[in-house]
Structure 1
Amino acid sequence: MTFSVWLTIAPLLMLLSLGPGPNNFTAMHNGIQVGATKAVIAVVGRNLAFCVLMLVSALGLGAIIVSSVFWFGVVKWLGVAYLFYIGIKTWRSAAVVLEEHESEKGIKAKRGHIARMRQEFFVAIGNPKAVLLFTAIFPQLLDLSQPVPMQFFWMGVTFCMTEFIAAYVYAISGKQIRRLIRSSKGMKNLNRGMGGVFVMASGVLATATRS
């Protein structure tokens, strides 16, 4: 892949990454809870899931999932169930005054990096639209006169980098919201609002089709 071609593809991948979706809402929520830096570190889990999905697509299995009603349904409903679970769990989570969890060094996270990475991973791996992205869009960006594996590799690396950037944008916006929420009531409203977003996302995912 030449640098000029990469310059054409990178902005498109950036736009795809910036689109609102379950993972970016997760980054926003983590940004509110524990700050932008820790929210971005959690994106490692998301990108691990995307690497798995890209490998699946590169091996041609993505086309099977997209063309098979059964396997598409399996992936879709696992994703729906997980998003619904996250939504209910967030809705019911206890309201905590943020000032009680701050110190001079910054925010004390209630959960560790691994837990947030795991959450990002399962949100990403259960989204069949990601399979559609890597199966339907990536191949259209390939130059078939050039070696395909390396092109797919560099597109994958670029997409993972744009995911970090997109997560940072959402986490920063979450951090700004966090400054406005200091009371227990404010946190309760936030948790219910974000829980509602995840539940709605599960509903949107439930309507996903192979077309």
Structure 2
Amino acid sequence: MAFETYLIYLAAVAVFFATPPDTSQLLIISNSVRYGLRKSAYTIAGDLSANCLQMTGAAFGLAAIIATSATAFSVIKWLGVAYLIYIGIQLFRSRDDVNDVDANQSGQAFRLYRQGFVTSMANPFAVVFFGALFPQFIDPALAILPQLLILGVTYLIVDGAILLLWGWLGVRAASALKRHSFGLINKICGALMIAAAALLGSKDFQTR
């Protein structure tokens, strides 16, 4: 892969993230508001782990299956919508007490990781996106695997940095909100999750 091609790829990824927050980013904001940036790192790790699997799936042709199967696409998408709504409802029903956040500390890291992983994996657009993006920047005359690794690692670094930025913004918002009501934070986070579900549900992919 030529260095110029890599720079174009880097610019393309940067432009892709120059949009309003998507479902995963809304989840990071929500968890950062409730738990702080340090603990929301578990959610970021879950999201990036899912991205690794999605990239692998795209490399092995899973993107083509999802892109041509309306049933597979719809099942994955609506499972994601249901999961996000479930999280949102749980937040609305949670206690208006800061101690509620500290409950079950032993399982909290895994729960936050699982939220990030499932939310990202339940988005069928990701696999299709990687399947369409990577081939545009791969030189078929060179070894494919090293190029895929470079493209994938670059995406993960940029994605992780963007997620950390959204999480930091969430923490800044939380510092102001906690002066008024922790219960309000729960309601806002629940609204963010339901908004993320609506965002995912409103998207469509035209299959052949």
Q: Same fold (TM over 0.5)?
A: yes
The equivalent residue for 2:108 is 112
Please give the root-mean-square deviation of Cα atoms over the aligned residues, in Å.
2.5
Assess, with a 3 A threshold, how the Cα gap between structure 1 residues 128 and 91 changes in structure 2: closer, same or farther. Answer: same
The equivalent residue for 1:104 is none
CA distance in 2, matches of 1:40, 1:11: 25
The equivalent residue for 1:63 is 64
The equivalent residue for 1:40 is 41
Summarize deviations over 1:160-205 as a string: whole Å, max 9, x none.
Answer: 111210111011101111111225x622222222212221221222
CA distance in 2, matches of 1:186, 1:14: 36
Greater Cα offset, 171-180 or 196-205: 196-205
Q: Which residue, out of 109, 132, 152, partners 2:148? A: 152
User: 1:1-150 counterparts in 2 under 5 A?
Assistant: 1-17=1-17, 19=19, 20-97=21-98, 112-150=108-146
Assess, with a 3 A threshold, how the Cα gap between structure 1 residues 200 and 141 changes in structure 2: closer, same or farther. Answer: same
Residue 72 of structure 1 aligns to which amino acid in structure 2?
A: F
CA distance in 2, matches of 1:31, 1:91: 16
- Which ranges of 4 or more aligned residues in structure 1 deviate by more than 4 Å? 107-111
CA contact (8 A) 2:46 2:114 kept: yes
CA contact (8 A) 2:32 2:170 kept: yes
1:194 aligns with 2:189: yes
Structure 1, gaps ≥5 residues long? 102-106
CA contact (8 A) 1:13 1:159 kept: yes
CA distance in 2, matches of 1:13, 1:189: 35
CA distance in 2, matches of 1:14, 1:30: 24
Aligned length: 204
Structure 2, gaps ≥5 residues long? none
Residue 81 of structure 2 aligns to which amino acid in structure 1?
A: V
Q: CA deviation at 1:151?
A: 1.7
CA distance in 2, matches of 1:70, 1:10: 33
CA distance in 2, matches of 1:202, 1:89: 14
